[in-house]
Amino acid sequence: MKSVFRSDYYTEKEIVKQFALNKKTSELIEEQINYENSDLQLNIKEILLNGIQIRIINEKINPPFIVEVEHDFPFMKMHFEIQGNSKYIPKNNKSLAVDIPDGHYNLFFLPKVKGTLTYNSPFRKSVEINFTKDYLKRVFGDAFSEASSSYGEALKKDIPFLMWQQSKPITPILHSIIQDIINCKFEDSIKKIYLESKVTEILTILFNYLKNKNNFETKIEEKDYLKIIEAGKVIENNLKNPPTIPELSLITGLNQCKLKQNFKRVYRKPIFSYITDLRMEKAKKLIREKGFTVSEAAYEIGYKNPQHFTVAFKRKYNYLPSQLKK
């Protein structure tokens, strides 16, 4: 399996990368890739499992950064653009363009990849998960066709597939799983089992979305969609003191009824639930990774009473926040 990347931004002009994604292995193979010149600082942690490749990318570039890309293998990928943006335009008009803005994700299948990647943000942070058909069949077994629905049909017919015509915002639950992958501290066989379980968890969530896609794909005008994305970012940036629904209505220019209805369509949950989920995920990170006490974390995400925070945390996760310290 070979990938070729061509760009004037590369010192070599062309980079050829060989992959062993389809190679059966019981081991975890991990590689750190660093590349730097005057226009590019690239750091990639690449993890190869049995039929899975995880790429954790941190990139500083001089935009617009344009790369010609070509793969000699079918491309099955979950792409989470945590920061920055990524846009693929195929040279074959029978294929599909894939546009993933800041804070969005998509799942796609491209039988052939030959086209142009463009990055227009000076900083990028993404998690890309590639996998094989054999991996999917091995994990989902006889239930694969039913579980994968339209995605499985596209694989069977060898036709391009894009889960969302318009990439969707990364939900709190997906963001949490991605952070688990990024911050995994396990080693060797335990790390392999852990990461495989996380990839399977993401696929299970996405396949469930596919089965219920009609419920999620209610048409929203693009201008209203962008306003809902703006509302989500305002919430994310003000978790300690989140705006009220009337305040969000003023910020976005949407009436309260339209704001609430469209927010639930885009983020798949009501505004209050979304705020709670983000707060709890941030609190988990502060306690587990930053060493905050439960009280400090509670205050940091806007709870005046740590006891109220503990009750809300227990209700959501079914364990106490203090157990994160153990």
The confidence score (pLDDT) of residue 1 equals 79
Whole-prediction pTM: 0.78
Q: What are phi and psi of 152, to 5 degrees?
A: -60, -35
The confidence score (pLDDT) of residue 289 equals 83
Kindly report which listed range (79-83, 198-202, 224-228, 292-296) carries the lowest average pLDDT score.
224-228
When pLDDT is cut at 50, 70 and 90, the band that residue 214 belongs to is: low
Q: Give mean pLDDT, residues 278-307.
A: 92
* 207 C-beta neighbours (distance < 10 Å), count: 23
pLDDT of 221 strictly over 60: yes
The confidence score (pLDDT) of residue 200 equals 94
Q: Which residue has the higher pLDDT, 74 or 56?
A: 56
CA gap 167, 172 in Å, rounded: 15
Q: Of 23, 44, 45, whose CA–CA distance to 35 is shortest? A: 44
pLDDT tens-digit map of 15-42: 888 776 766 666 888 999 999 988 889 9
pLDDT of 90 strictly over 90: yes
pLDDT of 216 strictly over 90: no
CA gap 269, 128 in Å, rounded: 25
The confidence score (pLDDT) of residue 24 equals 64
